Chain A
Amino acid sequence: MRAANALVAEVLAELATMVAPGVTTQDLDQAAEKLVREGGAEPAFKGYRGYPSTLCASVNDQVVHGIPSTRALNEGDIISLDMGVKLNGFYGDSAVTVPVGKVSEEASALLRVTREALEKGIAQVRLGGRVSDIGHAIQLHVEAHGFSVVREFVGHGIGSALHEEPQIANYGEPGRGPRLAEGMTLAIEPMVNIGRPAVKVLADGWTAVTKDGSLSAHFEHTVAVTKTGPLVLTRRGVTAPAA
């Protein structure tokens, strides 16, 4: 789990430095696949329920699961890079949303609040806590800043499969759901819209966009539950890169 997630962190950091006006999402996907394979791993999304690519590249009003294409990035866009790998039978999964060049103040605020919300969610990871404590903390933070939380998609347990129990909603009452136990590994991933929470899936069967066309951001970490609290496996420097 450590090695798979450390690789995801390294590749995402590399991809984030490539994001610039004129770069296509396909360029990023190709670079992602190359880096993953060089790391001795396999892309986890490619082929998952028929998903065609290594990377989910979701630009602006795209929430998640944007399929890489010949679309070129423009100055002022925001792009969510979501990627998973399979290494030695274990899965790693993480996402970041990054600005393309200089973005509006509103977009920067969205990125900041979404990243903070993820941290608030991670802070709820402790032995004996409940799964819904995570989503509750995320929702409180997001709505305090006037943004909204996507309901249709949720975080998930992760380990020897990409999606395991439990589902981790990014909203709801605290104190519900399974108790957190040592050794559980969770992919926590708030998706936050500037406008209304509603999303729809495009005809390609994957790309989720906001119904009102407002910008959407998405951050994700894979986190292990330990005696001493959350261990963020996809934070660079937390675990050594794959040897």
Chain B
Amino acid sequence: MAEAISVEGIVREALPYAQYRVEIDGPRQVIAHTPGGTGRNFVRVLIGDRVRLELSPKDLGRGRIVAVVR
């Protein structure tokens, strides 16, 4: 069974609604949200952090931040 691809990238910009613009290898940019969703920001993400993303197979321009790599 194939696994949905995940990638690492650098957070470049914080956007409204707990979303972040993340630059991934390429360089490509994707919009990612934190796992808790808006207002439940348990994972503190700062600009410049290296994060691990799961990309949505439905839209490779969007993803979910699953971990902060420090």
Q: In the bound complex, what is the Cα–Cα distance between A48 and B1 (angstroms)? A: 10
Q: In the bound complex, what is the Cα–Cα distance between A44 and B4 (angstroms)? A: 17
Contacts A51-B1, A189-B2, A218-B2 known; 11 new A-B pairs at CB < 8 A: A44-B1, A82-B2, A152-B4, A152-B5, A153-B57, A154-B2, A154-B5, A155-B3, A163-B1, A163-B3, A208-B57
Q: In the bound complex, what is the Cα–Cα distance between A154 and B4 (angstroms)? A: 6
**Binary contact track B1-45/A, C-beta < 8 Å → 1, others 0:** 111111000000000000000000000000000000000000000
Q: Are B1 and A151 in contact (CB under 8 A)?
A: no
Q: Are B58 and A153 in contact (CB under 8 A)?
A: no
Q: Is B55 an interface residue (CB 8 A)?
A: yes
10 residue pairs A–B, Cβ–Cβ below 8 Å:
A44-B1, A64-B1, A65-B2, A82-B1, A82-B2, A84-B1, A153-B2, A153-B57, A155-B2, A218-B2
- Across-interface contacts of A201 in B (CB, < 8 A): 57-58
Q: Is A233 an interface residue (CB 8 A)?
A: no
Main secondary structure of the interface of A (DSSP, over half): strand
Task: Identify B3's interface contact among A51, A154, A218, CB under 8 A.
Answer: A154
**Interface residue tally for chain A (C-beta within 8 Å):** 28
Q: Is B60 an interface residue (CB 8 A)?
A: yes
Q: In the bound complex, what is the Cα–Cα distance between A154 and B7 (angstroms)? A: 12
Nearest CB of A to B8, in Å: 11
Q: In the bound complex, what is the Cα–Cα distance between A206 and B41 (angstroms)? A: 28
Q: Is A199 an interface residue (CB 8 A)?
A: yes
Q: In the bound complex, what is the Cα–Cα distance between A201 and B6 (angstroms)? A: 16
Q: Are B2 and A162 in contact (CB under 8 A)?
A: no
Q: Is A200 an interface residue (CB 8 A)?
A: yes
Q: In the bound complex, what is the Cα–Cα distance between A110 and B14 (angstroms)? A: 44
A residues 46-64 with Cβ under 8 Å of B? 48, 51, 56, 64
CB-based closest 8 A-B pairs:
A153-B2, A152-B57, A156-B3, A201-B57, A163-B3, A64-B2, A154-B5, A201-B58
Least CB separation from B2: chain A residue: A153
Task: Identify A200's interface contact among B3, B4, B5, B58, CB under 8 A.
Answer: B58
Q: In the bound complex, what is the Cα–Cα distance between A147 and B4 (angstroms)? A: 21
Q: Is A74 an interface residue (CB 8 A)?
A: no
